[in-house]
Amino acid sequence: MHNVLFCIYCGFSSAYSCSNQQGQGAAYSADASGTEYILLAGASMSSLTMTNATKERLVTKIHDKWYDLTDYEKLHPGGPVSMGLAAGRDATVMFESHHPFTHRSVLDAILEKYELNGSSSRDLRTLEDQHAIVEHPFNWKSDFGDALKFHVKEYFQAEAKRRNVSISAAIKAPPERWCELTLLGAIWAICLISFVRGDWTSLLTFPVSLWVFGVNIFHDAAHFALHKNWRINAIVPYLFPILCSPFAWYHQHNIGHHSYPNIEHRDPDLVHFFWWKREHKSVEWRTTHKMQRAKWFLVFWWVIGVELGLATMNDYWMLIYKVYNESVPMKRISRRRFLFHVAGRFLTIGVIHLWPFFVLETWTRSIIFAILPYPTASVLFMLNTQINHLTPGCAHETNEDWYKHQVITAQDFGVNSRFCFLMSGGLNYQIVHHLFPTVNHHHLVKLQPIVARLCEKHDVAYKHVAGYAAAIKSHHAHTVSMSYNEKEQSS
């Protein structure tokens, strides 16, 4: 079954390199080299597409300057997938957060080579601007940030020397991490065989093993932190379509949440099904939000969260409205790619629920195996992803300094607990991960004391709780507080 899903998804969902060039109107401009750029306007809303003849141009905005990185795309070590995240949008945050250890002079020299002059860029608009999404500026001159990058780089210089590799290789998964992933993958494969046979114990062991193996490898790969070879990082997320579409994940997680955690109108995680659940004060209160005071609602929400939300409806709405959760604009794709993507989603979800009826012997067993595993995987996903930012001490914090903002809007849990690390895929070291998203989670255990020490030195609040129980309690307290309207809160 998994091989089937992999084949379906590799063919259907990689949508970053295709654009729809069927605009109704066009404006022309040219740069000093004579390259002609065409700004295409769609039928219902404009969408930035830079083309040279029939080739799409990878144009992005960084620190208020426009760059055409088309010719650099094949040279960039992160590969076309990571570069594609920047296409058409303001990529300042991703640029800064993805290059913490590269000398500034090197970055500036590369950007200068590909900068567009004023005549070429004066009519350009970012995807955010076209969708009336207000950009959130950060202050990048940060003593705290400089100290973090300096001391963390020192750790990786020592690591690179120990392993006799470059720093860019040292920040990825080391051999011992690959051994660990191989063991987790073997356990998952055994549980998968048991699941396909219809063994009753696999109703629990399969989704748990899928989650543990998946989160420990998927998350790093999706952050380009698994391997130095970009192709491995690009392929691995498509091995786990049961969780979500990697195409949608890049929008929701990499472009949106990681860049702007807990910032209203920029973090899509604040408005998942907002008419049912309220997680932020920027969301208008509704009477339906009273339900979230009950613990049963929290469990119910976690049961349906992945299949109804992340894996299907949020993905579908993004494709229809070209914006993920009203926060992250989507780069326009061709109609053919659109149809393939939708078909891929339906086929993936369909196979997950229909295969038991073709393999297992009885209707009762088929129905149970078709229904129960997905909610279990959903609970594990929601449990490990909701307890790090949506807490009373994090949800409404903000700071102009991007590095300080990443710290005060996140919460670690179970630090130094091997169980918490494996079960969450390293998400329990959320603060370090948000500061250095392209660093493999294996290293976060060693980096956490460095970050905690620097937070204390620079008077930045570093939040952590003992483990899962404390983290869930904290998240639920926040959820309950958001269920009250202003009048109830004041009384």
Domain extents in the chain: 1-19+138-491, 25-130
| DSSP notation for 121-187 | HTT---HHHHTT------B---HHHHHHHHHHHHHHHHHHHHHTS-HHHHTS--HHHHHHHHHHHHH
Q: Which of 191, 221, 194, 224 is nearest to 209 (CA)?
A: 191
**If you count them, how many residues does the chain have?**
491
Cβ-in-10-Å burial (0-12, 13-18, 19+) of 79 comes to: middle
Enumerate the β-bridge partners of residue 95: none
Q: Residues 478, 186: contact at Cβ < 8 Å?
A: no
- 490 — pLDDT class (breaks 50, 70, 90): low
Element (H, E) at 55: strand 55-57
Provide the token pair at 152.
């963390």
CATH (residue range 25-130): 3.10.120.10
- 206 — pLDDT class (breaks 50, 70, 90): very high
Is pLDDT of 4 > 80? no
Q: Residues 267, 281: contact at Cβ < 8 Å?
A: no
Q: Which of 169, 143, 149 is nearest to 100 (CA)?
A: 149
Q: Which amino acid is at 57?
A: R
> Could you give the percent of the chain with pLDDT greater than 70?
88
pLDDT (average), residues 424-449: 97
pTM: 0.87
pLDDT digits (tens, 9 = 90+) for 209-233: 999 999 999 999 999 999 999 999 9
Of residues 357 and 45, more confidently modeled: 357
